[in-house]
Structure 1
Amino acid sequence: MEHQAFIELLQREGFAAPVTVEREPDGRLDAHAHPFEAKALILAGEIRIVTGGRERRYGPGDVFHLQRDEPHAESYGPQGVRYLSGRR
C-alpha cells in the first residue's frame, strides 16, 4: 500500500494520526498485548508477528492489523523494521 493511501485509510477508519516506530535488527518482543487496536504500514525492513499460533511476515508496503488486547509476539529482520502505526 502507498503511504498516502494508508494515511487516508486510517483517517476514514477513525484511527489517530500515525506515529513512526523503529525496531532494532534481529530484535524481538515476547508475547504481549496492547490496550488499543493498531494498524501499521511497513516502510522498511521486516517484521514477523505470531498470533494464534501462526507466524506472518510483513515487508515494505504490507499492512498489519492487531485488535485491542490481541496477544502476539514480534521479531524483526536483519535490518530491523520501520513502520507507521495508527491506533484507536
Structure 2
Amino acid sequence: MTEMTAFQQRLRREGFIEGDVKALEPGMTMAEHDHPFDVCALVIDGEIALTIEGTETAYGPGDVFTMAAGCAHAEKIGHAGVRYLVGRRHPCPES
C-alpha cells in the first residue's frame, strides 16, 4: 500500500472529504487566515511552513499536518513550491 493510499484511507476513516492535490508556487506567502473546516494534509513534495500562535513549523515530503476549523495560521511556501493532498471536514453544527 502506498503512502498516499494509506493517507486517503485515514481521511475516509476520520470523516474527511477526500482530498484534492493542491500545488502552491515557490516562495508564496499567505497572511494569517483561518478556514471554516478541519484540515488534514499529506505533503507530497516541496515544503510548507505554517505559523500558528507565533510558532513556525515546516513540513516536507511525507509529513502530515492538521488544523482544526478556525485555527488562525500563516503559510510560507519553500523555494521549490509544495504539493499536498488535503482533506477537509466540516464541523458538526451545534444543537
For the superposition of Structure 1 and Structure 2, which TM-score range results when normalised by the shorter chain?
A: over 0.9
Match of 2:5 in 1: 4
CA positional deviation for 1:52: 1.3
Counterparts of 2:32 and 2:60, CA distance in 1: 21
Q: After the TM superposition, which residues 1-88 of structure 1 pair with which residues of structure 2 at under 5 Å, given as runs?
A: 2-88=3-89
For the aligned residues, what is the CA RMSD? Answer: 1.0
Counterparts of 1:55 and 1:2, CA distance in 2: 25
Counterparts of 2:87 and 2:50, CA distance in 1: 17
Counterparts of 2:18 and 2:6, CA distance in 1: 13
Local SS of the residue matching 1:6? helix
Question: Larger Cα Rg: Structure 1 or Structure 2?
Answer: 2
Q: In the TM superposition, what whole-angstrom CA distance separates every residue of 1:25-57 from its partner, at most 9, and x where no partner exists?
A: 011101000010000000010000000111100
How many residue pairs end up in the alignment? 88
Give aligned-pair identity as a percent: 45
4+ residue segments displaced more than 3 Å = none
Q: Which TM-score applies when normalising by structure 2? A: 0.90
Structure 2 stretches lacking a partner, 5+ long? 90-95
